[in-house]
Amino acid sequence: MVNRYSIASPSGPFGDDNVELQPELENILRNAVRALGGSAAVVATWDDAVRRFVVTGAYGLDGGQIARIRPLLNEAIPDLALSREPFTLLSALLTQSALPVLTIGDMQNPVMAVPLHTADENVGLIFVLRSSDAANFSQLDPPVLAAFAEQAAIAVQSARLTHLLSQEKQRVESILEGSADGIYTVDAVRRIVSVNPAMERLLGRPGEELLGLPCAVALDWRDRDGRPLCPGRCPMLHMSPSGEGVVGSGNVTELAATVRSRTGQRTDVALVYSVVRSPELAPLNAVVNVRDMTRVREVEEMRSTFLSMLGHQLQTPLAIIKGYTNTLSRPDAEWDAETLRRSFEAIEEETDHMSQLMNRLLLASRLETGALPINREQVNLAAVAHKVVGRMLLTSGKHQFSVSFPDDFPPVPGDPALLEETLVNLVDNAVKYSPGGGPVTVSGCQHDDGRVTVTVTDAGVGVPRWETRRIFERFHRSQDPVMTHSRGMGLGLYICDAIMKAHHGDITVASAPGEGSAFTLSFPNGVELPE
């Protein structure tokens, strides 16, 4: 509902700006009282928060006396305030009880008021009060009060705009402070004026070091080929074609660049310049949004890697299946039972491989989105380990498997199928990354702090220290030349890590090139999984 008295924006509460407004209004009201022979004066402004006129400034009244004139601000005043004309309040307009009475018992009647106007806005009212034994206001008095009303209106409007500007400044600063993107501003000569926290983090430098510096010196923007952007391609100096003729709001330009942190590392970023220009198109200032593109590039690379690996992983089994089916369907050949058996086994094996690949992709997707339900049971990990190793014995003759768990190894609350999937992935990796064979051990341990751990150890090629930080990422595969041609999409360890997190546990690795690896699943003490 639109308030018919709210002719201007809310101007009653001015926050801290009211501290400066009150002395100015008091001086105006003092002069008005002296010029009109009054006893007191008041400025009232409309407050949307309480939906009434409130006292913004007063002269000749203390707090208690101000309370006694509030009846003036209730019913009669709002209707009269819509007019641009001065008006005088007599007892005919207000009930006897509503007439203001000062401490000495002197009833104030009449009261003259003039609306405060700036342009087409009503920002409030100015009142001058006379004692009832004083002469009534004459026709000569309203123009005098109108002159003071003009001064008061300018003061009120100025305070109101200052307050609104302060609120907007706080709002913008809050947005900048909380932005995940780096943001900085520059003046007309391209000196840095402000820097938000995200920009400080991106540069690894406190903003105080940057303020006042030319942005070309402080930031050293370069394109992806290492060529400097400043000043040759600075959007403040060179308007883009889309910005020609744009005045006031300026033009927006996007650039791809790199920025160097304090450590010397360069990061790919996207720059968005919003340049404000004068009517002569000279740059006045600019706001620059800086978005770290590292994660975006990683996602793009991951997508490309995924599609490439998926095509490769499907191409091989499909080619094998197609080769066998073409051979077996030849009308001019007759195959013995052994050849048919081996052919069908190969087709089944490749079909199983594709099915396993699709299942892992689906499982990884569900784990990432949290859409995979966890069936809570007490899981005997020793029994699960024996089951996994037993199946692996049938497929690998070069490795020596062993399972070692203490007799009192406790059950773990969790999903038996998911925990089995975790051990399958780890044992399968141990075999895959030990191409020359060797021991593979699955062992359990209960610790003094109540934790239980399961460790899968091999004597394979190992993992370089730098790579241990990435092996749990999706689609990451070992860069070891020995293993680059092995099957897999780099999902196994990612799935293991996601499953352990879903069980409030973790997975760690200890490894060195040529010395094998030990992957440890750790389950905290007394964890109850959510329903």
In the chain, CATH 3.30.450.40 covers 15-170
pLDDT of residue 14: 59
Per DSSP, helices labelled H in 292-439 are 294-328, 337-369, 381-393, 416-432
3.30.450.20, 3.40.190.10, 3.40.640.10, 3.40.50.1820: which CATH number matches 179-292?
Answer: 3.30.450.20
CA separation, residue 342 to residues 6, 206, 319, 336, 337 (Å)? 89, 69, 16, 10, 9
Backbone region of residue 475 per phi and psi (left: phi > 0; alpha: psi in -120 to 50; beta: other values): left
pLDDT at 435 over 80: yes
Confidence of residue 84 (pLDDT cuts 50, 70, 90): low
Q: Write the pLDDT tens digit of every residue in 436-463.
A: 889 999 999 998 888 899 999 999 888 8
Task: Tell me the percentage of the chain whose pLDDT exceeds 70.
Answer: 79
CA separation, residue 174 to residues 169, 197, 287, 341 (Å)? 8, 11, 15, 72
Query: Tokens for 281?
Result: 């198109």
Who has greater pLDDT, 26 or 298? Answer: 26
Strand partners of residue 271: 255, 290
pLDDT at 423 over 90: yes
pLDDT of residue 327: 84
CA separation, residue 337 to residues 127, 331, 342, 359, 395 (Å)? 113, 16, 9, 32, 23
Question: What φ, ψ does residue 22 adopt, rounded to 5°?
Answer: -60, -45
pLDDT at 401 over 70: yes
> Per-residue b/e over 344-369, b at no fewer than 16 CB within 10 Å?
eeebeebeebeeebeebbebbeebee
pLDDT at 397 over 80: no
Query: Tokens for 356?
Result: 């396993």
pLDDT at 245 over 50: no
Q: Write the pLDDT tens digit of every residue in 168-224.
A: 888 877 877 878 888 898 998 899 998 898 888 888 888 888 899 988 888 888 888
Burial class for 397, CB neighbours closer than 10 Å (0-12, 13-18, 19+): exposed
Q: Write the pLDDT tens digit of every residue in 361-393.
A: 777 777 777 767 778 889 999 999 999 998 888
Query: Tokens for 418?
Result: 């998911």
DSSP secondary structure string for all residues of 490-509 = S-HHHHHHHHHHHTT-EEEE
Distance CA 478, CA 136 (A): 98
Q: Considering Cα of 447, then 449, then 451, then 453, what sign does the dihedral take? A: negative
pLDDT of residue 489: 64
* Average pLDDT, integer, range 328-339: 84
pLDDT at 39 over 90: no
Non-local (6+) Cβ contacts of 244 within 8 A are: 251
Strand partners of residue 256: 270
Distance CA 126, CA 59 (A): 11
Angle ∠(106,107,113) on CA atoms, nearest 5: 125
Residue appearing with tokens 């009150």: 22
According to CATH, what is the number of the domain 297-369? 1.10.287.130
Amino acid, single-letter form, for residue 400: Q
Who has greater pLDDT, 213 or 18? Answer: 213
Superfamily grouping for domain 15-170: GAF domain (3.30.450.40)
pLDDT of residue 403: 94
**pLDDT averaged over every residue in the chain:** 78
pLDDT of residue 128: 87
Query: Tokens for 467?
Result: 């790579």
In the chain, CATH 3.30.450.20 covers 179-292
Q: Write the pLDDT tens digit of every residue in 247-281.
A: 334 467 888 888 877 777 778 888 888 888 888 88
Of 475, 439, 458, 474, which Cα lies nearest the Cα of 509?
Answer: 458
pLDDT of residue 12: 47
Find the helix packing angle between 492-502 and 337-369, rounded to 10°.
50
Q: Write the pLDDT tens digit of every residue in 485-500.
A: 555 667 788 888 888 9
In the chain, CATH 1.10.287.130 covers 297-369
* Average pLDDT, integer, range 221-238: 82
Q: Write the pLDDT tens digit of every residue in 114-153.
A: 888 777 777 788 888 887 666 777 778 888 888 998 899 8
According to CATH, what is the number of the domain 377-523? 3.30.565.10
In the chain, CATH 3.30.565.10 covers 377-523
Distance CA 184, CA 109 (A): 59
CB contact at 8 A, 460 and 510: no
pLDDT at 67 over 80: no
Who has greater pLDDT, 49 or 403? Answer: 403
